[in-house]
Structure 1
């Protein structure tokens, strides 16, 4: 193989950190540099951000759950909302039951709080028992009361750091 010998200057702290990173991967720093230069020639660019920017573009292209065309889901929306309302009611009842049990197991429970939790749980049980899943107003009331906030979460931008890197 026809090769050329290069000598480069690099900040000592960076070189030491790079050597540690290379060693952690079972390599030596000259091997890593050779690989990086070879990759740059293959893609025709010295940018080390090329792969990261492609990943960021792919993440931006992926649509969040709330950005889908509603026309595709309208026929199922009422069924899904009813299922969610039922699940939220069951979760609410279970959460209150656990809180009541935890308070009574401690010995001297806070009676007014236990009574309030018991009343709320009993009301939720009654709602669950009498809920008509086709009653969109009742389902919507449950979703508004027990569900997540109406606005979708803000999309997060990638932080630019690889999870496995040590920066």
Structure 2
């Protein structure tokens, strides 16, 4: 989608494999995370859920986290979409949306990830997603505001997210 200029211009797969227009989130601040159930960073689900609950308590209609399960890093997300949903709820009580399994790199990469990587390259200008639990912060205007590595703990993101929420679109 070469004409895309914002996050909201894309459509992705929901947890049932259906179409989910990201325009549904227009005007919200969105934290995008590529997730996996069998990764050393998987316990970040707990921190992401706490972050989600804390921020949506203050800004109930203005923030969401979107989890994009990905099996491209060490085969650490081998399950079906249903397996992934169940794992997230049973083990971490996840209430934010976990979408359909997604490729974030390579020929079959989801176009929204290609766009986000181009908008906010990683360390040394690297365009690819390096590992599970990389995070992208999307502002109300649909632009990529920040990008954080897998090692960045969710609790450290509250400040930047709140700062973005306090801006007007």
Whichever structure has more strand as a proportion of its residues is 2
Instruction: Tell me which interval the TM-score lies in, with the shorter structure as reference length.
Output: under 0.3
TM-score by length of 1: 0.21
Which structure carries more relative contact order (alpha carbon 8 Å, separation 6+)? Answer: 2
Whichever structure has more helix as a proportion of its residues is 1
Who wins on radius of gyration, i.e. which is larger? 1
